Chains A and B, each alone.
Chain A
Amino acid sequence: MKRRWTLYDPRLAWMLVAPVLLLLIFFLVLPIAVMAAYTFFTFVTAGVETSALTTANWHEFFTDSYYSGFLLKTLRVGAITALLCGVLGYFPAYFIWATTFRHKWLLLLLLIVPFWISFTIRTFSWINILGEQGVINVALIKLGIINDPLPMLYNEGAVILGMLHFLMPYMILNVYVSLEGIDRTLISAARSMGCTSAQAFREVTLPLSLPGLAAGLLLCFVLAAGSYVTPQLLGSGRDALFGNLIYDTIMGELNWPMGATLSIVLFVVLGFFAAVYTRYMGMSQIVKGLGG
């Protein structure tokens, strides 16, 4: 006899997750698997490779310090960007949370508004601001403060600035959400027991918002270290990051096996950071500590 369907039927659950599962398998897991297989293919000449299996690509990656240097630099830039995001993003998040302004949604909307414009166009806009013919240089020259334009574009600073620009909303929203989760009577309690508002912030608000800050840092780090467009547009050749290296290898040298190898490296390294971070920096632990 056929079993009747129930609301919490496990078969129903499988059917509901099936579309997402199929999507993930065909568009995420499978492509990555194909790429992983490509790393063992043999590069013949630009645009030509054979499926003869070799470890030459991996050997090249692990022996040529050119690659590891790029990787370390990418991680360093990612870390600097994430930390700057954390330091600079906490204040607006705190402001939005603490304000008595009645239309808070408007402030949150302002954070989303930049997403309405293409990310590439937003990045391009920095050229009009920082470039030799950009607003700042032109203004300073017209005012007679400088004679020659300042070299503000095409350096690491410009790349980090551009990434801050697009990552800041992620940080602010993450911190804001965790601040919003704090029971405000905790702050009243701390104040009533003798804390000034600054001390109450240190004792209560800051530690309880750390999970959001931690999540924001991780997100910004991964997105910055994996970025490609920003260094391409705002950096010089020397400021390229790992993503640009992958692009050059695949599109410039047409060396698909090596490009696949580098992609898998970046994927594994960033995935490793995310996993270790979540596990040991204790995001889940902190959440548990809050009785969640």
Chain B
Amino acid sequence: MPDSQDTISSPRPASAGATIAGAAAGTDSPAVEFRDIDIAYGKFVAVRDFSLSIRKGSFVTLLGPSGCGKTTILRSIAGLVDISGGQIMIDGRRVDDVPIYKRNIGLVFQSYALFPHKNVFDNVAFGLKYRNVPKPEIVRRVGKALEMVRLPGTEKKLPSQLSGGQQQRIALARAIVFEPQVLLLDEPLSALDANMREEMRVEIKKIQKETGITAIFVTHDQEEALSMSDRIVVMNAGRVEQIGTPQEVYETPATAFVADFLGKANMLAGTVSRSSGPTAVTLAAGQTVNVVAPKPLAQGGKVTVVVRPQKLSVGAAGANRLSGRVVSASYLGGSAIYEIDIGGGMTIRANTPISGRVFREGEAIEVGFDPEGCVLLDEGGQRIS
């Protein structure tokens, strides 16, 4: 299992977590730490050997397709799901046996989960009430939280009188008002329409930065993950595929799954045809491309060349040239996406800025990419490093 022991708290100069000023100052115990946790429902193992350490004040995303175990992990932090092995620590304290209502965790659900029979004030005040906060203090803090989510003055409204986006803001206010140790966000944007989603994305990120709260975000949407996270944990079938900054997981996918799940990379199967000098790979379609290998590769070894659609450029640029025929062209205004048949039953996708003309279906086209712009995977689908 690659990279699963890679911890987010490990001091990495490139860590985007460094941009969160002062949030983690003082203590060095991670906000949340998983040690080899297993979660099983009966015979079905939803999560296996999951280890992760999350630095205070950071924004970490669990990304993966549905059924990969990401929501299960989130729920295990809250205590809504029992773990069958391993340990979960919050602020250095083991919480396996701490009942859910004593864990001090803020939860935001996909379905908002606002209490329909309580007004906005009572919804937001709920957590404070159960922490025995005095009434005037509750009023003050609820007001402040509503201002933070830009819905001041809505105290008397019922959730059913608010739009979906507003309801999710109230849910967010309700989850942060009692200053939980961790904020858990379970696909909070999925129920919103596209415009609202974008707006909420920015808003959630802003509030997380302002409050300095540690946030764990679950999504199946790669765009959300890439734009919001300090760190992304890519999961598949109950296992961690890769942990890294958005740039790391996008630019250097550790496995074939990550390459495909994030941005639908082109996966070109081939064999190593020259192992020294510039390494060359002969593709199944017949073309030979130069690649940068991090270590010498055995000649004749089977590899997969991973190239992002954005790294392919139309025309003369790029040291590696592939010619083919346009199967389909989607014009997107500033850029165009081409599906190109390069022979041998291989189709590649190019997403390129439009310079000059737009190619049409059936036209011959030539695309190129640089040897530095690709990643090599071995036969098992793991990145060669």
Q: Do A and B come from one complex?
A: yes
A residues in contact (CB < 8 Å) with B: 183, 185-186, 188-196, 199, 203-204, 207-208, 286, 288-291
The answer to whether B117 touches A193 (Cβ under 8 A) is no
Asked if B115 is at the interface of the complex by the 8 Å CB criterion, the answer is yes
B residues in contact (CB < 8 Å) with A: 78-80, 99-103, 105-107, 109, 111, 113, 115-117, 126-127, 130-131, 158-160, 174, 178
Query: How distant is the Cα of A2 from the Cα of B160 in the complex, in angstroms?
Result: 45
Q: Please give, as numbers and ranges, the residues of chain B lying within 8 Å of A288 by CB-CB distance.
A: 160
Query: How distant is the Cα of A257 from the Cα of B146 in the complex, in angstroms?
Result: 67
Given A208-B117, A289-B158, A291-B116, output 19 extra A-B contacts at Cβ < 8 Å.
A183-B113, A185-B109, A185-B111, A188-B78, A188-B109, A188-B113, A189-B115, A192-B78, A192-B103, A194-B130, A194-B131, A199-B101, A208-B116, A289-B116, A290-B117, A290-B160, A291-B158, A291-B159, A291-B160
Q: Please give, as numbers and ranges, the residues of chain B lying within 8 Å of A195 by CB-CB distance.
A: 101, 130
Query: How distant is the Cα of A289 from the Cα of B160 in the complex, in angstroms?
Result: 7
The answer to whether A199 touches B117 (Cβ under 8 A) is no
The answer to whether B109 touches A191 (Cβ under 8 A) is no
Q: Given that A191-B101, A192-B107 are known contacts, is A289 also in contact with B117, CB under 8 Å in the complex?
A: yes
Query: Which 9 A-B pairs rank lowest in CB-CB distance, beginning with the nearest?
Result: A194-B130, A291-B160, A193-B127, A189-B113, A185-B113, A192-B107, A290-B116, A191-B100, A185-B109
Report whether over half of chain A's contact residues are helix, strand or loop; otherwise say mixed.
helix
Q: Please give, as numbers and ranges, the residues of chain B lying within 8 Å of A185 by CB-CB distance.
A: 109, 111, 113
Query: How distant is the Cα of A143 from the Cα of B174 in the complex, in angstroms?
Result: 63
- CB-defined A-B contacts under 8 Å, sample of 22: A186-B115, A188-B78, A188-B107, A189-B109, A189-B113, A189-B115, A190-B126, A191-B80, A192-B78, A192-B101, A192-B106, A193-B101, A193-B107, A193-B127, A194-B178, A195-B101, A199-B101, A288-B160, A289-B117, A289-B158, A289-B160, A290-B117
Closest Cβ–Cβ distance, residue B106 to chain A (whole Å): 8
Count A-B pairs with CB separation below 8 Å.
70
Closest Cβ–Cβ distance, residue A210 to chain B (whole Å): 9
Query: How distant is the Cα of A290 from the Cα of B114 in the complex, in angstroms?
Result: 11
Query: How distant is the Cα of A190 from the Cα of B117 in the complex, in angstroms?
Result: 13
Q: Please give, as numbers and ranges, the residues of chain A lying within 8 Å of B100 by CB-CB distance.
A: 191-192
Closest Cβ–Cβ distance, residue A107 to chain B (whole Å): 21
Query: How distant is the Cα of A104 from the Cα of B158 in the complex, in angstroms?
Result: 33
Closest Cβ–Cβ distance, residue B356 to chain A (whole Å): 52
Q: Please give, as numbers and ranges, the residues of chain A lying within 8 Å of B102 by CB-CB distance.
A: 194
Closest Cβ–Cβ distance, residue A264 to chain B (whole Å): 39
Query: How distant is the Cα of A66 from the Cα of B19 in the complex, in angstroms?
Result: 86
Closest Cβ–Cβ distance, residue A253 to chain B (whole Å): 52
- Chain A: which residue is nearest B174 at the CB level? A193
Q: Given that A208-B116, A289-B117 are known contacts, is A193 also in contact with B80, CB under 8 Å in the complex?
A: no
Q: Please give, as numbers and ranges, the residues of chain B lying within 8 Å of A203 by CB-CB distance.
A: 115, 126
Query: How distant is the Cα of A194 from the Cα of B107 in the complex, in angstroms?
Result: 12
Query: How distant is the Cα of A183 from the Cα of B105 in the complex, in angstroms?
Result: 20
Closest Cβ–Cβ distance, residue B174 to chain A (whole Å): 7
Closest Cβ–Cβ distance, residue A237 to chain B (whole Å): 47
Q: Please give, as numbers and ranges, the residues of chain A lying within 8 Å of B160 by CB-CB distance.
A: 288-291
Query: How distant is the Cα of A290 from the Cα of B109 in the complex, in angstroms?
Result: 18
Query: How distant is the Cα of A194 from the Cα of B133 in the complex, in angstroms?
Result: 12
Closest Cβ–Cβ distance, residue B251 to chain A (whole Å): 36
The answer to whether B130 touches A199 (Cβ under 8 A) is yes
Query: How distant is the Cα of A196 from the Cα of B178 in the complex, in angstroms?
Result: 17
| A193 partner, pick from B79, B109, B116, B178, beta carbons under 8 A | B178
Q: Please give, as numbers and ranges, the residues of chain B lying within 8 Å of A190 by CB-CB distance.
A: 115, 126
Query: How distant is the Cα of A272 from the Cα of B163 in the complex, in angstroms?
Result: 38
The answer to whether A192 touches B111 (Cβ under 8 A) is no
The answer to whether A186 touches B130 (Cβ under 8 A) is no
- Chain B: which residue is nearest A210 at the CB level? B117
Closest Cβ–Cβ distance, residue A157 to chain B (whole Å): 37
- Chain B: which residue is nearest A204 at the CB level? B115
| B80 partner, pick from A188, A194, A196, A207, beta carbons under 8 A | A188
- Chain A: which residue is nearest B129 at the CB level? A194
Q: Please give, as numbers and ranges, the residues of chain A lying within 8 Å of B113 by CB-CB distance.
A: 183, 185-186, 188-189
Q: Given that A185-B109, A289-B117, A289-B158 are known contacts, is A192 also in contact with B80, CB under 8 Å in the complex?
A: yes
Q: Please give, as numbers and ranges, the residues of chain B lying within 8 Å of A191 by CB-CB distance.
A: 79-80, 100-101
Looking at A192, A203, A207, A291, which has the most chain B CB atoms within 10 Å of its CB? A192
Query: How distant is the Cα of A190 from the Cα of B122 in the complex, in angstroms?
Result: 12
Closest Cβ–Cβ distance, residue B176 to chain A (whole Å): 11
Closest Cβ–Cβ distance, residue B213 to chain A (whole Å): 15
Q: Please give, as numbers and ranges, the residues of chain B lying within 8 Å of A291 by CB-CB distance.
A: 116, 158-160
The answer to whether A192 touches B105 (Cβ under 8 A) is yes
Closest Cβ–Cβ distance, residue A211 to chain B (whole Å): 10
Query: How distant is the Cα of A183 from the Cα of B110 in the complex, in angstroms?
Result: 12
Q: Please give, as numbers and ranges, the residues of chain A lying within 8 Å of B158 by CB-CB distance.
A: 289, 291
Q: Please give, as numbers and ranges, the residues of chain A lying within 8 Å of B111 by CB-CB distance.
A: 183, 185
- Chain B: which residue is nearest A193 at the CB level? B127
The answer to whether B115 touches A193 (Cβ under 8 A) is no
Q: Please give, as numbers and ranges, the residues of chain A lying within 8 Å of B80 by CB-CB distance.
A: 188, 191-192
Q: Please give, as numbers and ranges, the residues of chain A lying within 8 Å of B78 by CB-CB distance.
A: 188, 192
Query: How distant is the Cα of A203 from the Cα of B111 in the complex, in angstroms?
Result: 19
Q: Given that A289-B117, A289-B158 are known contacts, is A196 also in contact with B101, CB under 8 Å in the complex?
A: yes
The answer to whether A194 touches B116 (Cβ under 8 A) is no
Q: Please give, as numbers and ranges, the residues of chain A lying within 8 Å of B127 by CB-CB distance.
A: 193-194
Q: Please give, as numbers and ranges, the residues of chain A lying within 8 Å of B174 by CB-CB distance.
A: 193
